Every structure is written in C-alpha cells, then in structure tokens.
Amino acid sequence: MWAPVILSCMFYTMVTVAQPRYLMVIPAELTFPSAQRVCLDLRGVDKPIRVALTLVHASRSLVLFRRVIRNNRILECSKFWVPSPAGGREEVCTVQLTISNGRYFNVKEEKKVLIRRSDSSTFVQTDKPVYTPGQKVKFRILTLNEEFVPLNSKYSVIELQDPNSNRIGQWLDVRPRQGIVDLSFQLADEPSLGTYTINVASTKASSTFSVEEYVLPKFEVFFEGPIHIYALDKTFPLRVCGRYTYGRAVQGTVRVTLCQKAWRYRRPPRHFGTDICEEYSGQVSWLARLEMVSG
C-alpha cells in the first residue's frame, strides 16, 4: 500500500530542475547626460527563460534589457542613455530584474540607483572681438563636463541679438560634431553698431562682440628681459612681443634702442659721462628675441 506514495515522490524528484544562477552589473550612480552599460551573466538555463531589466523613474519605465534565453549560459551587455533626473539635480530610481520560466522558476529583484545631473560648463567664442559691417561672424560652442570631456548634447535654441535686443539670428536643435558646434552669421552692409550677444538658451551661456566702423587695428607691445645684468655678462636676451587685441601676431619692423648710463669718478666732484647706446632692428612676426651686447 506504500508503493504509490514512493513512486510519486520519485517522480517529483526527477522533474525538478536546477535553478539558474545570475549576476547583474549596473553602476550605482548614473550620470546624466551619458551612455551607460548594463551586463547580465546567466547560467544553468536548460529551458527557454524570459529575462527583463527595467529602469523605473518618475512614474515612467525604460526597458534596458529584454529577451528570451535558450542557451545554457549567456553573458550579454546592453547600452542605454541615462534619462534626465526628475526634479532637477538628482533622483533615486529603481532597477527591476525579472527572470521567469513558467511555474518552475520566477525571480523578481529590485535595486536602487541614483541618477545625477553632471556639472558642465558651456563656452562660446568668436573668431575675433570686433567686426566691421559686411563681415562674417564665426563662432564656436563647446560644453565640457566636470571631467573636461566634451558633451554632444543637443542645443535647443541658439540666438543672436543686436545692440537693441532684437533677435537677428536663430538656430534650433543644433547637435555638436565631436563636441564642437561651428556656426557663422553674415553681417549686413549697414548693421546697427554696438555690442551683439550670442545666447545658448539651454545652458544660459552667452558671449558678446562689437560691430564698429573700420578703425586701425590696435595692438600692444611689451618687453621681457632679465631683472639683473651683471658686469661680466657679454650678452643678455631681450624679447619684444607685439600682439593685436584679438590675439593675432603683429607683423612688422621692431626697432629697439638700449642705453647705459655712463659715469666716472673724479675728485672733486663726481660727474656723469656720455651715455652708451646701441640700436637694434629687424623683422618680427610674433616674437623677436634679441641678443643685446652688454657694454
């Protein structure tokens, strides 16, 4: 009379399958904007099994991984773009992992992850600070994250305003190429003179330039030389540098006159003699380095 019970237990043992083993790897902190990767290592699968991985945030769901696995072991990674955190800077979200094989194996696991908006800085730079009517304004926009890596995030609105705050140029949904946006604007032959402003609406970054009637280029000249010159020195270096206000080198002729006060003792009294002067000249582009002879 015990035989049926024994057979029943033996049958149950034979159909029981080993539970699959799994390992899921995902960063605990997700930075927006960035592309992240999630990996799943699943072993011991002897029947088709469904796997789904979902990121739940702000009452929305983002499917990171979903497929039916039939192999005994699989290691697969999936790339996804991190969504923006709700409420501004940070948001705590839930990652849900579901593994199901009908009535034999069902797993549902949840983990918390943090989505954090990265700090970034946007720079707007024109090719020169002053333009004349009819010239083309060229400018670049670059956004760097906190690790100084260029971002390829899309700029929703870029606008150009004249000195009267009128919008005279607009670019929509501009995406950088290799992190940099190159744009240009052709000035009219008779534009409003004054300060123009370039605004990047999504980042609140801006830059200005001036439009003026033609004026002679302005540049500055500065010298760099030794603080002390010793009597035994035969020569000493003197650098003469010329640079325009927008940074370009000044090409031309440099002429330098160096004088040394000459004086001698006489008793009585002490008086000064004739100054010793030397003159040097030459062509320069960006930097002139002169070897001055010490008298």
Predicted local confidence at residue 1, as pLDDT = 36
Is the pLDDT score of 289 beyond 80? no
Characterise 135 by phi-psi region: left (phi > 0), alpha (psi -120 to 50), beta (else).
beta
Predicted local confidence at residue 207, as pLDDT = 95
Number of DSSP helices (H) and strands (E) in the chain, helices first: 1, 23
Domains 17-117 and 120-211 share a fold: yes
Among candidates 66, 22, 27, 54, which has minimal Cα distance to 41?
22
pLDDT tens-digit map of 203-234? 889 999 999 987 677 788 877 888 887 878 87
Radius of gyration (Cα) for the chain, nearest Å? 37
Predicted local confidence at residue 6, as pLDDT = 31
CATH number of 17-117: 2.60.40.1930
At 11 the three-state DSSP class reads helix
At 273, the pLDDT band (50, 70, 90 cuts) reads low
Rounded CA separation 221/244 (Å): 9
pLDDT tens-digit map of 230-272? 878 878 787 778 887 767 778 878 888 877 776 655 555 555 5
Predicted local confidence at residue 263, as pLDDT = 62
pTM over cut 0.85: no
In the chain, domain spans? 17-117, 120-211, 219-293
- Fold category of 120-211 in CATH: Immunoglobulin-like (2.60.40)
Torsion of CA 165, 171, 174, 177, to 10 degrees: -90
Is the pLDDT score of 81 beyond 70? yes
Q: Which residues, 6+ apart, have CB-to-CB distance to 139 below 8 Å? A: 124, 125, 126, 127, 183, 184, 185, 198, 207
Answer with the residue of higher pLDDT: 294 or 116.
116
Is the pLDDT score of 5 beyond 50? no
Among candidates 118, 113, 151, 143, which has minimal Cα distance to 25?
113
Q: What average pLDDT does the chain have? A: 80
In the chain, the percentage of residues whose pLDDT exceeds 90 is 28
Predicted local confidence at residue 272, as pLDDT = 53
Token pair of 72 as six digits:
């005994």
pLDDT tens-digit map of 39-79? 888 887 777 888 898 999 876 888 888 888 887 778 888 89
Contact 256, 240 (CB under 8 A): yes
Answer with the residue of higher pLDDT: 46 or 169.
169
Is the pLDDT score of 26 beyond 60? yes
Predicted local confidence at residue 32, as pLDDT = 83
Mean pLDDT within 190-213:
92
Predicted local confidence at residue 203, as pLDDT = 84
88-102, 187-201, 278-292 — which is least confidently predicted? 278-292
